[in-house]
A = this chain, B = another copy of it.
């Protein structure tokens, strides 16, 4: 599977920009969030939409990446695979997340669509000009980069010091918080349904665990009453507070202070 992914079809469907930035679902969270009407008009002219099917490679580590994009819908992973096949996912990309780095021509990681993904994208040069000439894009990009940096460091604590059980719970807590935020809530409810965007293998690659260990932890957590499994990808969290406690992080609730 890991090997065969190389043969993945680079399925791609070009789309005309059918929605205006004003109606864009990620309007208030993406790199354009701080833009005013005039700035949006400029983006409107420069942007294009593209859709990749699940499994497609959006970028490959070390290879040129000549568009910078925001995810509008769908989910992708950012990962690196070592020569012997060990893979570590370093980011889960969801709507409003940004792909690529201004000022760098090559991708540092593999980026793969794990579901159908639609991007709002700009040619590298065009976007770099936008960053230079549009202060609201530059500041927003900076904020997003710093947020990602904090998230990445927080995840390092999970990878470096947590047990398999704590790792799984930490990921569930993170996914729940991101889902809640996408729905405009401050925090998840006490009880709710959580959709897992990744397979067990995808989760394992994110957690620095094997599939088997990840699966065993799911079973254990279910037996311990932390959630019910409606399906392999759908959990019913019983008591979110208990989950947070199990995560073991001396966490402030994920709220940015």
Interface presence of A160 (CB below 8 A): yes
| Set of chain B residues within 8 Å of A145, measured between Cβ atoms | 142, 145-146, 149
Output the residue of A82, A141, A153 with the most chain B CB within 10 A: A153
| Set of chain B residues within 8 Å of A250, measured between Cβ atoms | 61, 80-83
What is the 8 Å Cβ interface bit string for chain A, positions 132-158, against chain B (1 contact, 0 not)?
A: 000000110111011011101111110
Contact of A90 among B62, B138, B156 (CB under 8 A): B156
> Is the pair A160, B159 in contact by a Cβ cutoff of 8 Å?
yes
Interface presence of A188 (CB below 8 A): no
| Set of chain B residues within 8 Å of A155, measured between Cβ atoms | 156
Q: Kindly state the separation between the CA atoms of A250 and B80 in the bound complex, as whole angstroms.
A: 9
Q: Kindly state the separation between the CA atoms of A160 and B160 in the bound complex, as whole angstroms.
A: 7
Interface of A (DSSP majority class): mixed
A contact residues, total (Cβ < 8 Å): 47
Q: How far is the CB of A231 from chain B (nearest CB, A)?
A: 27
Q: Kindly state the separation between the CA atoms of A62 and B84 in the bound complex, as whole angstroms.
A: 40
| Set of chain B residues within 8 Å of A143, measured between Cβ atoms | 103
| Set of chain B residues within 8 Å of A252, measured between Cβ atoms | 62
| Set of chain B residues within 8 Å of A208, measured between Cβ atoms | 159-161
What is the 8 Å Cβ interface bit string for chain A, positions 81-125, against chain B (1 contact, 0 not)?
A: 111101110110000000001011110110000000000000000
Interface presence of A239 (CB below 8 A): no
Q: Kindly state the separation between the CA atoms of A256 and B106 in the bound complex, as whole angstroms.
A: 9
Interface presence of A257 (CB below 8 A): yes
Q: Kindly state the separation between the CA atoms of A134 and B133 in the bound complex, as whole angstroms.
A: 14
Interface presence of A202 (CB below 8 A): no
> Is the pair B248, A88 in contact by a Cβ cutoff of 8 Å?
no
